[in-house]
Structure 1
Amino acid sequence: MNALRTPKGIPAWSMAVAAMLAVQLSNALSVPVIDQVGPAGTAWLRMCFGAAFLWMIARPAIRSLRARDLPALVALGVVTGFMTAFFLAAVDRIPLGTAVAIEFLGPLTVAGVMSTQRKALAWPLLALIGVVLLTEPWHGSIDLAGVGFAAAAGACWALYNVLTQHVGDRFSGISGLSLTIPIAALATLPIGLPQVVGGEFSWWVLAAAAGIALITPVIAFGLEMLALKRMTHTAFGTLLSIEPAFGILIGLLVLAQSPTPMQLVGIAIVIIAGAASQRNGRRDTAPVATHHSPTTAQETP
């Protein structure tokens, strides 16, 4: 199925940028659903519908799995589920752009740690200054729970990037994603189902969650997995520096969240820190996937 292969001729960075826009759009569109069934309930519904869509288009060859594949698959599934749940909990409390900037500290720190240049560790610290300007704690109105949820999502995001590249190298196309998203749905079930059952459930919530799931995780996470086949962790973490700006833009256009001048300065600092963290990050070769599903052709580096 050609749609599941890494598209030839399409730059990896363009897939990553498209994924970022899709993620932030889906997060903004999730706000009305959060109001009905809570952040964990919304995350769980998104994972459930995402798993269903992925199994329709990329059914994995489960019988070909080996025991050594399971730890990475389970870890990525759990991290993906809770990354989404934590972030939606943050968006429920603080502006989207601020939440993205705080969450971004996770992958930016990974970019610094994995860089061969130790001075790269200074960039996460610079980004932290930008985050302080974004949250404006001197006003005394900072939502510590929202910041905490965004930071937890950032820790998950850092692990997600590392694990996504590993799983993407092991499985062709997005077949790995069709294994991890069901795990994400199972992992978030204990916290998501109670919110759905106890929330103000309406049938439109299911339709909305299904539509959002098609954007993220299906399209967005699929594009990220394909992009990470061709990029280093450092390059991907650097490119993610523009995601806080996308968060501000989508928050403004979809949620009418207008940042203050000081917050714009904070966003600029975060973006500069991310862009400066590393310059060269294209993977010279992408490992050939060792597993492929019946609906997926073997990957070509």
Structure 2
Amino acid sequence: MISIQSGAALAKGLFPVVGAAGVTALRVGFSALILLAVWRPWRRGPERGEVGATVLYGAALGLMNLLFYLALRTIPLGIAVAIEFTGPLAVALAGSRRTLDFAWIGLAVLGLGLLLPLGDTASLDPTGAALALAAGLCWAGYIVFGQRAGRSGGGRAVSLGMLVAALVVAPVGLAEGGADLFTPATLATGLVIAVLSSALPYSLEMFALTRLPRPAFGVLMSLEPAVAAVAALALLGERLTLLQVAAIGCIVAASAGITVASRRSVKIPPDTGSST
């Protein structure tokens, strides 16, 4: 999450050069190349049922990145992250069965609500908000399909999924960025964004997806707005208000609570070594 938010700050600065779709194409394209080189998924053929899950996972991944960057053109980063979290929270809610689970999710929702500047919602661009919400729906699909794809091996799944994501976003990115995508400075910045925002964090998330219950993963990811707020303070000089500090406390408590509850009630599958 720290890596993703650092990459997001860098990516937004590149929007005036190649557009949001162009930055997405650079991010996902370089990430695919890096992950393919590291994991070399062609060393064995696809297993039964693996292709469909990987394609759905990759499509959700590509659309999630594209829609989120498109939303960032017109609404602030913190608000976009908070709206996008409707996706993983919905996944967590769908997988909950006990009253205590709903209590932790309610606390996370409260924290997200406190992070939103509710008094300024009238000034939010409706198109940007809708794009962030659509990115959240894709995030939910990323969690669901990522777990299925990851059963064949985390590194293999994330590299093939990123390749599918690159194929999904490349036409849109090329149409918007054009020849400016291929200047040395733009390519170098795109490579850094890819490492920070996709290659490293998505690999780590794939390992988490295959080892955590779905509700626990979904609510743990609700730390993202809190990390975004801290990154904004560190990288952009944006100071936190007391209300934002309270919101972060709610989210951290909810994440810790759902994790402890899930570890007690669900046996986490052991590492089978399939990722090596």
Q: TM-score, normalised by structure 1?
A: 0.79
- Note the 1:31-70 alignment, pairs <5 A: 31-61=12-42, 64-66=45-47, 68-70=49-51
Task: Report the secondary structure of 1:174's partner residue.
Answer: helix
CA–CA separation in structure 2 for the residues paired with 1:271 and 1:298: 31
How far is the alpha carbon of 1:249 from its aligned partner? 0.9
Give matches, 1:98-137, under 5 Å: 98-117=79-98, 120-121=101-102, 124=105, 127-137=108-118
* Structural mapping, 1:1-301, within 5 Å: 20-61=1-42, 64-66=45-47, 68-117=49-98, 120-121=101-102, 124=105, 127-139=108-120, 140-171=122-153, 173-197=154-178, 202-277=183-258, 279-282=260-263, 283-286=267-270, 288=272, 298-299=274-275
The superposition leaves residues 25-56 of structure 1 with CA deviations (integer Å, 9 ceiling, x where unpaired) of 11122111122112111111111111111122
Taking structure 2 as the reference length, the TM-score comes to 0.85
Number of aligned pairs?
Answer: 272
1:229, 1:286 within 8 Å by CA — same for their partners in 2?
Answer: no
Deviation at 1:211, TM superposition (A): 1.4
Letter in 1 for 2:142: Y
Question: How far apart are 1:77 and its partner, in Å?
Answer: 0.6
Structure 1 residues 299 and 152: alpha-carbon distance in aligned structure 2, compared to 1, 3 A threshold: same
- The Cα of 1:75 is off from its aligned counterpart by 0.6
Partner of 1:17: none
RMSD (CA atoms): 2.7
Q: Give the structure with the larger helix fraction.
A: 2
Partner Cα separation in structure 1 for residue 71 and residue 254 of structure 2: 23
Contact 1:83–1:157, Cα closer than 8 Å, also in 2: yes
CA contact (8 A) 1:136 1:142 kept: no
Q: Which runs of 5+ in 2 are unaligned?
A: none
Query: What one-letter code is carried by the residue in structure 2 that aligns with 1:285?
Result: P
* SS across alignment from 2:14: helix
User: Distance between the aligned counterparts of 2:101 and 2:245, measured in 1?
Assistant: 23
Separation in structure 1 between the aligned mates of residue 274 and residue 117 of structure 2, nearest angstrom:
50
> Matched residues, percent identical?
36
* Residues 32, 159 of structure 2: 8 Å contact kept: yes
Where 2:94 maps in the other structure, the secondary structure is helix
